[in-house]
């Protein structure tokens, strides 16, 4: 076991993954520095931050939801206390029931004990979802970076792999030598020469904000997209999914997709207020990427959180920290060793 206080760790990235793993290492009394570039586009910086325990397409529960939710609430509550801010809150959330078949499936699921905790009754064509909520990811990112800066734990400039080398089992950078470097570089991981062999499946997500003349709903409604009341007759439509365009730029095709979901429910005039886009670090099997590099043990990765990041990051940051500090085995579903053949093929090529 490490003498944790002597372990120097550099974390590359200050999005949701970087913040979560930094907190775990700081709690273990490691010497932690976070390297970020605050001028670079960030998925966390504009993420909607909604958590929802139900997968609507086939009406299943989110993977490991009964383990993830308690850890998520504990983690963000501790950050709220630490940073003296309000980050998290529940939402009144309802799913539109689009057909008789879906109505029957909903009621069937609701009769099962494991589902009834999360799926409520249908009323006026909408099924209620329990234990959903929002995390203010933008506020979290800005406030946590300020905390790091105030505690002399932040390096804010572009990261260059040309500066990275190895000596005596350590990672050497211009700012110093570290026992461990953990890459939490989100969608930029596809440009990471040490981990680009992992099969990332980047996805562009877009959301828009509308202004209406009169109030429409106090609940978050899901009808292909989420219609989220923001107050003062403003509504966020979130979010689209595209695997074709990966450029961080808003596109009319996504806007039309989002508006279609809105207009199926509300035939009212509106004004477009804002349209934003970001890349999600999604992966082919929808399970995060955790673990040490197969060749360089002083390098590790925490990535692939996708659209469920606020639920996944707290639990799996602790899981990864326990692995890296104590040697606790990783779950096979999240261990990057599941793609070890790809790594060996990349070396052969």
pLDDT (tens digit per residue) in 331-349: 999 999 999 999 999 887 6
- Given a cut of 70, whether residue 17 has pLDDT beyond it is yes
Q: So what's the pLDDT on residue 2?
A: 45
Give the residue carrying structure tokens 């983690």. Answer: 75
The CATH number of domain 4-46+137-199+287-348, selected from 3.50.50.60, 3.40.50.620, 3.30.1330.50, 1.10.760.10: 3.50.50.60
pLDDT confidence of residue 70: 97
Question: pLDDT of 278-319, one tens digit each?
Answer: 999 989 889 999 999 999 999 999 999 988 999 999 999 999
Residue 56's pLDDT band (boundaries 50, 70, 90)?
A: very high
Contact 233, 208 (CB under 8 A): no
Question: CA 224 to CA 248: how far, in whole Å?
Answer: 22
Question: Start-end ranges of CATH 3.30.9.10 in the chain?
Answer: 203-280
Give the pLDDT confidence score for residue 348 in this predicted structure: 79
Contact 59, 127 (CB under 8 A): no
Cα dihedral sign for 85, 208, 236, 286? negative
Question: What is the pTM for the complete model shown?
Answer: 0.94
Residues in the chain: 349
Strand 60-61 and strand 54-55: the pairing is antiparallel
β-pair partners for 36: 156
Residue 200 neighbours by CB under 8 Å, 6+ apart: 187, 189, 190, 281, 282, 283, 303, 304
Distance separating alpha carbons of residues 186 and 191, to the nearest angstrom: 10
* Whole-angstrom distance, CA of residue 91 vs CA of residue 94: 10
- Residue 60 in contact with residue 38, Cβ under 8 Å? no
The mean per-residue pLDDT over the stretch 198-219 comes to 95
What is the tens place of the pLDDT at every residue in 229-269? Answer: 999 999 999 989 898 888 999 999 999 999 999 999 999 99
* CA–CA distance, 315 with 179 (Å, rounded to integer): 23
**Integer angstrom CA distances of residue 322 from 9, 43, 89, 204, 212:** 14, 26, 28, 32, 49
Residues of the chain with CATH 3.50.50.60: 4-46+137-199+287-348
Q: 98 falls in which pLDDT band (50, 70, 90)?
A: very high
Query: Is the pLDDT confidence value at 53 over 60?
Result: yes
Selected from 3.10.20.340, 3.30.9.10, 3.30.830.10, 3.20.20.140, the CATH number assigned to the domain covering 203-280 reads 3.30.9.10
The dihedral over CA atoms of 124, 126, 130, 133, expressed in degrees to the nearest 10, equals -120
What span, in angstroms and rounded, lies between the C-alpha atoms of 245 and 279? Answer: 10
Compute how many other C-beta atoms are within 10 angstroms of the C-beta atom of residue 331: 13
Q: What is d(CA 116, CA 134) in angstroms, rounded to the nearest whole number?
A: 21
pLDDT value at 5 more than 80: no
How far apart, in Å, do the first and last CA atoms of the chain sit? 37
| Whole-number Å distance between alpha carbons of 310 and 242 | 21
Q: Is residue 1's pLDDT more than 60? A: no
């Amino acid at each position: 076991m490490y003498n944790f206080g002597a372990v120097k760790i550099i974390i590359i990235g200050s999005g949701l993954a970087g913040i979560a793993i930094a907190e775990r290492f700081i709690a273990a009394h490691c010497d932690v520095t976070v390297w970020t570039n605050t001028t670079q586009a960030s998925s966390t910086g504009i993420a909607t931050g909604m958590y929802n325990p139900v997968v609507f397409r086939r009406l299943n529960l989110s993977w490991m939801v009964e383990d993830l939710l308690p850890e998520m609430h504990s983690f963000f509550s501790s950050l709220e206390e630490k940073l003296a801010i309000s980050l998290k809150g529940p939402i009144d959330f309802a799913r539109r029931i689009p057909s008789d078949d879906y109505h029957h499936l909903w009621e069937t699921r609701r009769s099962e004990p494991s589902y009834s905790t999360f799926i409520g009754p249908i009323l006026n064509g909408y099924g209620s979802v329990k234990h959903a909520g929002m995390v203010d990811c933008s506020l979290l990112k800005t406030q946590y970076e300020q905390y790091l800066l105030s505690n002399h734990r932040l390096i804010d400039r572009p990261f260059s792999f040309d500066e990275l080398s190895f000596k005596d089992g350590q990672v050497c950078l211009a700012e110093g030598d570290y026992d461990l470097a953990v890459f939490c570089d989100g969608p930029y991981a596809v440009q990471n020469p040490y981990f680009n062999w992992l099969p990332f499946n980047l996805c562009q997500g877009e959301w828009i904000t509308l202004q209406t003349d009169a109030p429409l709903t106090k609940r978050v409604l899901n009808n292909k997209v989420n219609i989220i009341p923001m107050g003062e007759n403003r509504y966020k439509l979130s979010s689209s999914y595209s695997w074709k365009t990966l450029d961080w730029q808003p596109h009319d095709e996504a806007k039309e997709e989002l508006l279609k979901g809105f207009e199926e429910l509300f035939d009212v005039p509106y004004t477009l207020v804002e349209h934003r886009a970001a890349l999600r670090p999604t992966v082919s099997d929808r399970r995060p990427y955790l673990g040490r590099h197969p060749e360089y043990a002083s390098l590790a990765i925490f990535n692939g959180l996708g659209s469920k990041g606020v639920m996944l990051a707290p639990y799996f940051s602790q899981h990864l920290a326990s692995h890296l500090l104590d040697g606790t085995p990783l779950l096979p579903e999240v261990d990057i060793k599941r793609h070890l053949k790809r790594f060996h093929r990349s070396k052969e090529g």
